[in-house]
Amino acid sequence: MEEVKEFQSFCDRRTAAVAKRLQEWQEMRSLQKEILHAECESQVMERDLAQCRSELASCESRCAVLRSAQQSKALLTSRLVAAAAEALPPSPGLDNLKARFTADGVLGDPVEALSELKKELDLGFLNAAVVAGEEETAALRAAEVAAASLAAARWAEEEAEAAGELTDLEARQARLSGELRRRREEHRRRSAQRTRRKAELQQEAEHQEELLSRATEAAQSERAAAARLSEELRQAQQPPDAAAIAAAVEDATGHLRSQLHTLLAEVARLQQRFASQAETIEEASRESEHRSLAAAESEAASETLALEGEVRAARAHVVAAELAEESAA
């Protein structure tokens, strides 16, 4: 952005310089108009001079009296011719005029000298104005060409920089897209691993339930066998003592009861551990998944916004350079 500001400042300075030169050229045009106006006034003066000539023709009878004045006028005209020849650039008209009216010490007609001197002065001033205008126009054109060349070079340089920045942005976008794909693949892998772990825990729970079912069936079989043995003892002997029978049954079934309670406690513990582990793993997986996905999406969104901002800035930079080049052209 600093380069764009510097380039804009440079364009403003060049525009001010061109405007100043244009103003000078307009002043030169105004001067030319003034010269043309002066020429019109000179024509009026020529008409007045013609009238004076007619009056001079009518006053030829008094030319003897005015000869001295004519001599002084002729001398003044000669001096004017000499001064004009020294002031204006050399020209054949001024040289001929000076040679004709001052050759061999003979002074020419001052009226004719003034008329021709006026023509030479007008022609000299017009030539000087034309030459000055051509020089100013050539200088303005050279300055405009130099400014356009500089603006084109600066625009090409800025376009190359913008292209490089755009390439870097595209590379960063590709890198971020790859990172996002990698994180999504990792998320899918973790989900598959969690599903597989759930299946393993489910199989283990089913296996424990099967063991529990088998232990329950074995305990029921042992209870039935003990009851059957108890009944057989009661029928085979005399009416036995109830306490002895209860003690025998208790001895026969106590071990099985203890094993059954142990198996039930183990199954309950395994079920509780399975539920706790499954809940912990699922919660941790969900939190990790949410954090990873949120971080990836946030980073991708921020990088995308940054890329869009940089692309917009680069495009604005290029558009500003093109506008500056068009204005310079």
Residue located via tokens 């000299």: 124
pLDDT, mean of residues 223-240: 64
Whole-angstrom Cα distance, residue 298 to residue 294? 6
Per-domain residue ranges of the chain? 2-159, 180-328
Task: Tell me the per-residue pLDDT of 25-46, one tens digit each, with 9 for 90 and over.
Answer: 888 888 888 888 878 887 887 7
Residue whose entry in the numeric block shows the structure tokens 């085979």:
236
The owner of tokens 């001895």 is 251
- With a cut of 70, say whether residue 317 has pLDDT above it: no
Q: Please tell me the distance from the alpha carbon of residue 105 to that of residue 109, in angstroms, as a whole number.
A: 13
Q: What are the residues whose beta carbons fall under 8 Å from the beta carbon of 42, sequence distance 6 or more?
A: 118, 122
Which DSSP string do the residues of 114-179 spell out, in sequence order? HHHHHHHHHHHHHHHHHHHHHHHHHHHHHHHHHHHHHHHHHHHHHHHHHHHHHHHHHHHHHHHHHH
Cα–Cα distance, 115 to 136 (Å, whole number): 31
pLDDT at position 109, please?
A: 58
Task: Pick the more confident residue, 291 or 90.
Answer: 291
Q: What is the mean pLDDT of residues 230-245?
A: 59
User: How does pLDDT run across 185-220, given as a tens digit for each residue?
Assistant: 887 888 888 788 778 877 877 777 777 777 677 767
Query: For 92-114, what is each residue's pLDDT tens digit?
Result: 665 666 666 555 444 455 566 66
What value does the mean pLDDT take over residues 56-74? 63
**Cα–Cα dist 128/147, whole Å:** 28
Nearest to 50 by CA among 125, 118, 121: 118
